[in-house]
C-alpha cells in the first residue's frame, strides 16, 4: 500500500486481544521498532511509556500515546487533560478514541479536535454512531484516521476503499 506502518501491541484493558505484561510488550516493541514509522501505546501503560519513549527517540521514530474509552465520550476538560498528559510524556501525537452515546458527542469531539489542531491530535469516535468521524476528523485537524483491509480491528472502522472515497470528497 505504500502507507506508513504503526506498531500497536494493545493492552487488554484498552482493546487488545491478549493479556501481556508491559515487560513482554516492551520486548516485542523493541523487535519491531526498526520496521515501523511509529508506535502507538496507551497512556495508561505508564512503565511501558516511560521505557519505550527513549527507544523511539533513539531510532528517530514517532510516538503515539493513546486513550481508548469503549463506553462513553468523557467531558471536554478530561480529554484536554489527556492531551496535556500525552504531550508531557513525550507524545508526537496524542490519540483519543472514544465512544459517542448521543449524536452530540461526535460534534463535541470534532470541535475539540479543531480547538487542539496545533497540538498534533488524532481523534476517533468509535462504533456505528462515530463512523463518520473517520472521514470528518481529518477535516477538523485530526492528523490520522484508521481504516481496515480484510476485517475491522475496532468498532466503527470503515473499509479502506470507502474511507479513500470519503476523504476525496473534502
Residues carrying an active site annotation = 68, 95
Euclidean distance between CA atoms 86 and 144, whole angstroms: 16
Is there a contact between 46 and 74 (Cβ–Cβ < 8 Å)?
Answer: no
Grid look-up 466503527 returns: 156
Angle between helix axes 133-140 and 103-115 (nearest 10 degrees) is 30
Residue 122 in grid coordinates? 488524532
Grid look-up 470507502 returns: 162
Alpha-carbon distances, residue 31 vs 27, 138, 152 (angstroms): 6, 31, 25
Query: Could you give phi then psi for residue 142, rounded to 5 degrees?
Result: -65, 135
Amino acid at each position: 500500500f505504500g502507507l506508513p506502518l504503526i506498531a500497536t501491541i494493545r493492552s487488554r484493558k484498552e482493546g487488545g486481544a491478549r493479556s501481556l505484561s508491559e515487560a513482554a510488550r516492551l520486548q516485542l516493541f523493541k523487535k519491531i521498532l526498526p520496521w515501523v514509522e511509529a508506535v502507538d501505546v496507551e497512556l495508561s501503560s505508564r512503565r511501558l511509556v516511560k521505557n519505550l519513549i527513549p527507544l523511539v527517540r533513539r531510532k528517530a521514530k514517532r510516538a503515539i500515546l493513546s486513550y481508548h474509552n469503549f463506553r462513553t465520550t468523557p467531558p471536554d476538560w478530561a480529554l484536554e487533560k489527556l492531551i496535556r498528559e500525552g504531550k508531557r510524556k513525550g507524545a508526537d501525537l496524542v490519540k483519543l478514541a472514544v465512544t459517542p452515546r448521543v449524536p452530540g458527542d461526535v460534534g463535541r469531539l470534532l470541535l475539540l479536535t479543531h480547538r487542539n489542531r496545533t497540538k498534533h491530535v488524532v481523534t476517533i469516535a468509535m462504533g456505528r454512531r462515530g463512523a463518520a468521524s473517520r472521514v470528518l476528523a481529518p477535516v477538523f485537524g485530526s492528523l490520522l484516521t484508521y481504516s481496515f483491509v480484510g476485517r475491522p480491528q475496532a468498532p466503527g472502522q470503515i473499509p479502506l476503499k470507502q474511507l479513500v472515497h470519503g476523504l476525496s470528497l473534502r
